[in-house]
Chain A
Amino acid sequence: MRDITLSDVERLRSEAADTDAVFEMDEETFRAFYDRTARPLWVYLSRITGSGDLADDLLQESYYRFLRADAQHQGEAHRRNSLFRIATNLARDGRRRGRRAHLVALPGGADGSAELPASVDVAGDAQRRTDLTRAMARLKPREREMLWLAYAQGLTHVDIAGALGVKAASVRLLLFRARHKLATLLGGGAPSGRGDR
């Protein structure tokens, strides 16, 4: 094995310095931010695209574009919203290019026969998930994104507006409509007339 000379060490240091200078954000900050956001982002992408594989690709691409953007963020929420916005736009671009994702697969094997504790109502859970998957597939992409961010990830209206690029004032109404549509598709919603009070 070849010994590393002093000049090699210097060269590697210099290359590392060049590498670190590629992005505005340093590695430590990125890693901390990634650890906080990667899982929610993957979950979001997998559910709005309907594909885990597509979510894998989009996750990497989203972080890359986020790093390349070198934008100035006014805090953690702003930074996270920017990331989700990039991811949402990438997912939309994918849809426009005709990458039609299949519906969300059931957990475990292709037949949905994952090993679960005996107390869990496997058939009932599978049925509920299938119902939700079908219902979500019938929603508009923006409705899906909005509902997921609001109720699965618990984002505020301001954060949803930031992540989806819509006006904060219109989130409430859009969310109301999307929620009613989903509830109706799931069979648990009120008839349209009941919303008038």
Chain B
Amino acid sequence: MTNIECAREQDVLDMLAARRWPGRCEAELEAHIRACAICGDLTAAAAALLDEHESAWSEARVPASGVVWWRAQVRAREEAARAAARPIAFVQGVAASCAVWVAISLLRAFPLQAGPNWRGWATGLVGKLPDFSAAAASVPGGLPFLIVVGASLVLAPVVLFIGLREALREE
């Protein structure tokens, strides 16, 4: 059966920690290390890692404790604020769904024939709209260009509103 321990492992570790390897190690312990596979592996691995640890320690650069504490506090508060906003968004979603459901229910409860003639009203409205065909013919892009301009005019305030709201929230 493979033995995975040696009684002298601690002696070897103490010797390495005292920086006595390889030049200032006791002859008897050195002879043991050369003969014992376990202590041989231990010496090769631990000596290299101890050297590396020394180098790494000198190059370590850590921020001040106050900075880490402050960053953690800020982040925790931000996360808490986000967590608090989550139920509000959920409630808003539920309210919107309820509103749509109520609207549909009302429409079903009152058939279109019972209410005002919406179709006729809409058709009349379209008839009153100005004729854009002349204007469309006079611009280089034609009707598609006019549609894009119109959509931009409608959407620009919405985009502006959303952008400003995000900016204000970040402040």
Contacts and interface: CB of A to CB of B under 8 A. Distances in A.
A27 B72 CA distance: 11
A82 interface: no
B66 A31 contact: yes
25 contacts: A18-B77, A22-B80, A30-B69, A31-B65, A38-B65, A39-B62, A43-B57, A47-B52, A52-B61, A59-B62, A63-B68, A64-B72, A107-B58, A125-B55, A128-B48, A129-B55, A132-B48, A132-B51, A151-B45, A151-B46, A182-B44, A189-B40, A190-B40, A190-B41, A195-B41
B151 to A, nearest CB: 41
Interface in B91-142: none
A183 B61 contact: no
A52 B55 CA distance: 13
Nearest to A46: B56
Nearest to A65: B72
Given A59-B62, A179-B45, A23 B40 contact: no
A197 interface: yes
A183 B68 contact: no
Contacts of B55: 107, 125, 129
A75 B59 CA distance: 29
A68 B76 CA distance: 8
Contacts of B75: 64
A195 to B, nearest CB: 5
Given A43-B53, A52-B59, A23 B76 contact: yes
Contacts of A147: 45, 49
B156 interface: no
B45 A195 contact: no
A23 B60 contact: no
A63 B3 contact: no
A128 B51 contact: yes
Contact of B77 (A22, A31, A173, A180): A22
A186 interface: yes
A84 interface: no
B42 interface: yes
A2 B119 CA distance: 63
Contacts of A153: 53
A190 B35 CA distance: 10
B87 interface: no
Interface string B23-51: 00000000000001110111111101111
A95 interface: no
B57 A39 contact: yes
A25 B80 CA distance: 17
Nearest to A190: B37
A55 to B, nearest CB: 9
A42 B61 contact: yes
A153 B75 CA distance: 31
Contacts of B168: none
B5 interface: yes
A71 B84 CA distance: 23
B41 A180 contact: yes
Which interface residue of A59, A151, A154, A173 has the most chain B CB atoms within 10 A? A151
Contacts of A132: 48-49, 51-52
A19 B40 CA distance: 54
B5 A172 contact: yes
Contacts of A113: none
A30 B66 CA distance: 9
